[in-house]
Amino acid sequence: MYSIREVAPNVIWVGGSDRRIALFENMFPLQNGVSYNSYLILDDKTALMDTVDASISSLHLENVAHALEGRELDYLVINHMEPDHCANLEEIIRRYPNVQVVGNPKTFKFFEQFFHTDISGRKIVVKEGQELSLGKHTLRFFMAPMVHWPEAMVSFETAKGILFSADAFGTFGALSGNLFADETDFENLFLDEARRYYSNIVGKFGSQVQALFKKLSCVSIQMICPLHGPVWRKDLSYILEKYDRWSKYEPEKKGVVLMYASMYGHTENAVSALANKLGERGVADMRMYDVSKTHSSYIISEMWKYSHMVVAAPTYYMNLYFPMDALLRDMAALGLKNRKAAVLGNHTWASSALKEITAILEGMKNVELIGESIDICSSLKPNQEDELNAMADAIAASVAEG
């Protein structure tokens, strides 16, 4: 059966959630699923804002048909062509033969790459700032290139100030009947997953997010309707401030994320000893992760939150231990910057890990290495305590100064 909710008068959420999904983009673990949002505007003309993923395809079609109450669909607006929002494009176009498809030139290029349906003669190609009147509601289109695909755009509804924001302001996590962020305990239920979504999906494109903010400064946003996660109708400054900070690569908190790789526990032991010394020096809010056990997306998300990192790993056949190598290269590819880092390597007969960790971190923009790095030979020895104390002093002093 259909399952819809009113977002605002004559604006209806026609999306749904998938809790069975294990990996978003077949890569990111999901503990609590994800929602795929789609919205229908009912006015003199009707407009459907994006569609959904294949996992909730039939529900979405039923929702749209129910919300239309027998009316024709006039416009299908495609803000984003990634397949998690496009499963029903062809079916909507087939079911509603008079529908006109609204997108920018890149939207239609991608449409033709993904689909075979001929929509020539049914396209409305929009450009920056162009408007489309539905009656009382008017949509104004802002291009959002590389937030996080090149064709992405957002649609601003001018009567109520509703921003249909594509993936921007989205989050992992299924919706549980509470459509609006103010109906949920967002901070506890969604914030970490919103950060993980941002850092891993959009993180590389901070300057493009900032450019979009600049463009949108000319309008008064009263509501944000993203393609994933809750709708924002109150306290918009909360999520806007988070996005501003994340896209500027500014840490939210002072604190240390200790990430280690350890084959037999010796590197872990060194990091644990260091962590205790940091605790003794008053460093609060430390997070420690075994990179072989915790998916990289969680650690990357933590690095978007915290100011400092400790990176520790052994050498593995003259290379950096592979899971740590993958994590650091992922972090670098996502463009993390403006952080401070301390490094420990470990080796038994030939040392590479320390050099390779250092090289990757030095290749990241404004990642400052602090303290003297430590290279352990198989296991940390009591006679190295002075080195560990010096590293702890350097990290604690750096955290204290901000």
Binding site for ligand FEO (CB under 6 A): 80, 82, 84-85, 148-149, 167, 227-228
φ, ψ at 366 (rounded to 5°)? 55, 40
**Smallest distance, ligand FEO to C-beta of residue 25, A:** 8
Kindly state the smallest distance separating residue 4's Cβ from ligand FEO, in Å: 20
Task: Please enumerate in sequence order all residues whose Cβ is within 8 A of that of 129, keeping only pairs 6 or more positions apart, or say none.
Answer: 140, 141, 142
Least distance in Å: CB of 364 to ligand FEO?
24
Neighbours of 270 (CB within 10 A): 24
Comparing CA positions, the residue from 226, 156, 215 lying closest to residue 186 is 226
Q: Which residues pair with 43 in a beta bridge?
A: none
Measured from the CB of residue 165, what is the shortest distance to ligand FEO in angstroms?
11
Based on its alpha-carbon atoms, the radius of gyration of the chain, rounded to whole angstroms, reads 24
**Which lies closer to ligand FEO via its Cβ, residue 246 or residue 321?**
246
Closest approach of ligand FEO to the CB of residue 227, in Å: 5
Tell me the closest approach of the beta carbon of residue 72 to ligand FEO, in angstroms: 28
Q: Alpha-carbon torsion 326, 194, 137, 43, what sign?
A: positive
Q: Residue written as tokens 């205790």?
A: 276
Determine contact, residues 373/358, Cβ cutoff 8 Å.
yes
Q: CB of residue 130 vs ligand FEO: minimum separation in angstroms? A: 22
CB of 51 or CB of 315, closer to ligand FEO: 51
Cβ of residue 20: shortest distance to ligand FEO, in angstroms? 17
Nearer to ligand FEO by Cβ, of 17 and 373: the residue is 17
Residues 129-138: contacts with CB under 8 Å, at least 24 apart? 131/158, 132/47, 132/75, 132/77, 132/102, 133/45, 134/41, 134/43, 134/44, 134/45, 134/46, 134/47, 134/74, 134/75, 135/43, 135/44, 135/45, 136/43, 136/44, 137/10, 137/41, 137/43, 137/47
Q: Specify the residue, 141 or 321, whose C-beta has the smaller distance to ligand FEO.
A: 141
CA distance 134 to 115: 27
Q: Taking the complex as a whole, how short is the minimal distance between the CB of residue 11 and ligand FEO, in angstroms?
A: 20
Closest chain position to ligand FEO (CB): 82
* Minimum distance, C-beta of residue 398 to ligand FEO, in the bound complex (Å): 36
Helices 236-247 & 206-216 angle (0-180, nearest 10): 140
Inter-residue contact 115 to 82 (CB < 8 Å): no
Q: Is 5 helix (H, G, I), strand (E, B) or coil?
A: strand
The runs of H, that is alpha helices, within 166-256 are 186-189, 191-197, 206-216, 236-247
Rounded to the nearest whole angstrom, what is the least distance from the CB of residue 85 to ligand FEO in the complex? 6
Nearer to ligand FEO among residue 239 and residue 343 (C-beta): 239
Minimum CB distance to ligand FEO smaller for 86 or for 274: 86
Nearer to ligand FEO, 28 or 306 (CB): 28
- In the complex with ligand FEO, the residue whose CB is nearer, 166 or 278, is 166
Instruction: Please say which residue, 110 or 156, places its beta carbon nearer to ligand FEO.
Output: 110
- E strand map for 89-217: 100-103, 123-125, 131-133, 138-143, 153-157, 162-164
Residue closer to ligand FEO (CB basis): 201 or 374: 201
Q: Looking at beta carbons only, is 57 or 269 nearer to ligand FEO?
A: 57
148: preceding bond cis by omega (within 30 degrees): yes
